[in-house]
Amino acid sequence: MNSKFLANVDKLEPGTWQVSIKAGGWEPQSSAPGSLAKGEGRRSFLKLTAAAMAAPLLFASPDSSAGRRRAPNPTPAPAPEPGPVVLPPSPPTIPWVEELPSAITPLQPATLGLAPTGEAQVDRGECGRNKHQRWAEMYATPRQYPPVHYKLHAKENPAWVFNPAYPPQRIWGYAIGAGAAATTPGPTIMARYGQPVVVRFFNRLPQDHTGFGSPEISVHLHNAHTGSESDGFPGDYFSPLKAGPTLAEPGQWKDHLYSNIYAGYDQMQNGIGDEREALGTLWYHDHTFDFTAPNLYLGMAGFYLLYDHIDSGNERDPNPSALRLPSHPYDYPLSFGDRRFDAGGRLIYDQVEPDGTLGDKIAVNGKIEPVLKVAARKYRFRLLDIGPSRIYEFYLQKANGVSQTFTHIGNDGNLFAAPLKNQTSVRIAVAERADIVIDFSQYPIGTELYLVNRLVQTRSRMPDGIGAATQLLKFVVDRYPPEQDLSQVPNVLREQPPLDLAEIAAAPVRRWVFERKNGMWAINGQFFNPNSARAVIPKGGAEVWELVNIDDGWSHPIHIHFEEGRILSKTKDGVAVPVPPYEQGRKDVYLLQGMSSIRLFIRFRDYVGKYVMHCHNLIHEDHAMMLRWDIKEDD
Ligand SMILES: [Cu+2]
């Protein structure tokens, strides 16, 4: 496509890579021990392909043969540095016809024919993961509730309907069984603190896949406090045919242990951790090295909601400590992903263009311009931006454009200390969540309301600013609830862990600079290497991390795996700016908007192993704005 990629490949792996093309696939070849990890081969291939492919091939639908396995052209024509290719708009859709279900259906527990074990069961088809940490303690020792098991099958669905105007088409998602249809988002898991969960993830994606996306999986439970072997580390991708550079063996499935303890387990010595660290709105998604963007764009994401005795998921809970927020079926997760379609209404994506493919149609729980019929009562909505790049500022409006108010109760995984009442807007970047409560009881039956986005964005790099509203989802208040609405939003939600200023002042400081480099994105000048830790932190440690964006004109929503942090201070264009109320709680995504910095305080407790920090603009992530950091036993 252009010379910057060639230059880039040279700089990335000077003379270390070779790629051979085979029928139906490719394998990296390493001539010296340690000179080339499999993942680096994939990356080199991607860049080589990017450099060589002609423009018409870049916008491959998943049904086309143009994709990453195409043989590179050995003599690419040099081209001037181009801007992002301007794509024609997606064809018109038919609004407000497709209905979302009136309630989500939680995933039901499954019986595992083969009991889970701490060690990987490679002789029974499991991939060669590291053994589960603290298995006996976290799984086998009886805790508050017995362990519960789930199965999820990563699969292709050949006939997904985004909108009635578009043909049924291929998506990737998660299914409840080998014979069941995959959906996007995948089934919602409702989990509980004190109850360990094992999810057995099967990879049933077509291994002969062509087009964008790659049929390996590494499932990350975003925001989870879990052992690294269950974290979905990007190098831990697997299929029946391939193992990522940090796995020992390929496999058909992999068990993830989500112990559902609060962070601070070791510190508190109470068998459960610090309840002030509770997480609520988590989501699982593919995190395969170099292919997170296309795989997630194809649909590989789902919700994981976590409850405890405070946020108990029961609005009729008689326990005095229970908040009694609106609960299932009035607790409803909503994902928002920008997508683009060709003239025939088929999903298109450019997995080599470093500006990505900014979608002009927004899939809301996999449907474009859907309707949700609601009862005249309070609802809790968990809004999630699943990317790849678009940032939203949501408003609730009547058809005439008049803004309505709602209550903002949480950001990312967590509830605030106190609700933010009478809000009219909420902004979320990729992977951020907003937990809001809308009270539809104030509207007559028949009222129509719209969730709209007013943040205009014409390039993937950052939003342009507030502008005209785009209606994304229509609510129709169509009935009275069958029972009295006993839910509430109390004035006190979740106590936050205290910040100790002396401890913060004494904490080690790491500075991470996010920057554009050679047409890609780097952290402290380096691209992602899954085999090399850029920070090694003793278990139980606490640090101050400074996230710095030195490039104006780019937004980077930075995600740190494993534990949440607290924002201490922010700057914009070198000047200190206040931390807004919705960012004063715990967070796992830190949005750098233009030339800016964020100082945060973060702990590293209870587990050891490899984790990552990365930009959650999926394009930037896949183009190397990620780093590995490790927790080691404190000895
Ligand atoms: Cu970024």
Q: How far apart are CA 572 and CA 592, in angstroms?
A: 9
Judge whether residue 8 has pLDDT over 90: no
Instruction: Verify that 234 and 337 share a domain, yes or no.
Output: no
Task: Sort 578 into a burial class: Cβ within 10 Å, 0-12 / 13-18 / 19+.
Answer: exposed
> Which one of 307, 340, 364 terminates a domain?
307
Q: Which residue has the higher pLDDT, 460 or 336?
A: 336
Asked if residue 100 belongs to a domain, the reply is no
Show the domain range for 17.
1-82
User: Residue 437: which of 480, 404, 460 has the closest Cα?
Assistant: 404
In a domain, 194, yes or no: yes
In the reported structure, the alpha carbon of residue 244 is separated from the centroid of ligand 1 by a whole-number distance in angstroms of 24
Confidence band, pLDDT 50/70/90 cuts, at residue 569? very high
pLDDT value of position 142:
66
**Mean pLDDT, residues 250-259:** 98
What is the pLDDT at residue 141? Answer: 76
Asked if pLDDT for residue 29 goes beyond 70, the answer is no
CA 85 – ligand 1 centroid, Å: 19
Instruction: State the distance from the centre of ligand 1 to the C-alpha of 282, rounded, in angstroms.
Output: 21
Q: Do 470 and 516 sit in the same domain of this protein?
A: no
Residue found under tokens 């931390």? 579
Residue 185 has pLDDT above 50, yes or no: yes
- 292 C-alpha vs ligand 1 centroid, how far in Å? 14
Question: What is the CA(520)–ligand 1 centre distance, in A?
Answer: 10
Backbone Cα Rg of the chain: 23
Please tell me the total count of domains within the chain.
Answer: 4
Domain assignment of residue 508, yes or no? yes
Residue 34: pLDDT over 50: no
Do 509 and 569 reside in the same domain of the chain?
yes
Residue 104 falls within a domain, yes or no? no
With a CB cutoff of 8 Å and minimum separation 6, the contacts of 360 are: 89, 90, 338, 340
pTM summary value: 0.89
Q: What does the H/E/C string look like for 591-618?
A: EEECCEEEEEEEEECCCCEEEEEEECCH
pLDDT at 263 over 80: yes
Q: Find the 614 Cα to ligand 1 centroid distance in Å.
A: 8
| 198 and 335 inside one domain | no
Instruction: Establish if 239 belongs to a structural domain.
Output: yes
Tell me what the mean pLDDT of segment 29-45 comes to. 35
Domain identity same for 77 and 149: no
Kindly state whether residues 473 and 511 are assigned to the same domain: no
pLDDT at 7 over 70: no
Mean pLDDT of 252-259: 98
Residue pLDDT, tens place only, 514-552:
999 998 999 999 999 999 999 999 999 999 999 999 988
Give me the DSSP letters along 387-428. ESS--EEEEEEETT--EE-EEEEEETTEEEEEEEEEE-EEEE
Q: Please indicate, yes or no, whether residues 126 and 260 belong to a single structural domain of this protein.
A: yes
- Centre of ligand 1 to C-alpha 518, Å, is 15
Checking if the pLDDT of 17 tops 50, the result is no
pLDDT band at 140 (very low <50, low <70, confident <90, very high): confident
Whole-number Cα distances in Å, 436 to 80, 334, 355, 422: 47, 11, 31, 11
DSSP assignment of 44-99: HHHHHHHHH--HHHHSB-TTSS-STTSPPPSSPPP-----PPPPPPPPP--TT-SB
Q: Kindly state the average pLDDT of the residues 200-226.
A: 97
**Claim to verify: residue 193 and residue 285 sit in the same structural domain:** yes
Mean pLDDT to the nearest integer, 211-222: 97
Q: pLDDT by residue (tens digit) across 53-83?
A: 323 223 333 333 333 322 333 333 333 344 5
Is 126's pLDDT higher than 80? yes
> Could you tell me the distance, in angstroms and rounded to a whole number, from the CA of residue 624 to the centre of ligand 1?
10
Q: How far, in Å, from the CA of 587 to the mean position of ligand 1?
A: 17
How many angstroms does the Cα of residue 290 sit away from the middle of ligand 1? 14
State which of 444, 479, 514 marks the end of a domain.
Answer: 479
What number is the average pLDDT over the span 276-289?
98
Q: Compute the distance from residue 615 Cα to the ligand 1 centre, in Å.
A: 5
Q: Identify the pLDDT of residue 398.
A: 97
- % pLDDT > 90, the chain: 82
Looking at the fold, whether 291 and 163 belong to one and the same domain comes out as yes
CATH number of the domain within which 164 lies: 2.60.40.420
Higher-confidence position of 34 and 326: 326
pLDDT higher than 50, residue 35: no
Q: Report how far ligand 1's centroid is from the alpha carbon of 156 (Å).
A: 28
Ligand 1 midpoint to CA 552 (Å): 12
**Is 278 within a domain?**
yes
Phi, psi angle pair for 135, to nearest 5°: -60, -50
Are 280 and 184 in the same domain?
A: yes
Q: Is the pLDDT of residue 390 over 90?
A: yes
| CA of residue 459 to ligand 1 center, whole Å | 13
Q: Is the pLDDT of residue 429 over 80?
A: yes
129 lies in the same domain as 58: no
Averaged pLDDT for residues 411-423? 96
Residue 52 has pLDDT above 50, yes or no: no
Instruction: Identify whether residues 474 and 566 lie together within a single domain.
Output: no
The predicted structure's pLDDT at residue 83: 58
Instruction: Give pLDDT tens digits for 437-490.
Output: 999 999 999 999 999 999 999 988 899 999 999 999 999 999 999 999 999 999
CA of 227 to the centre of ligand 1 (A): 26
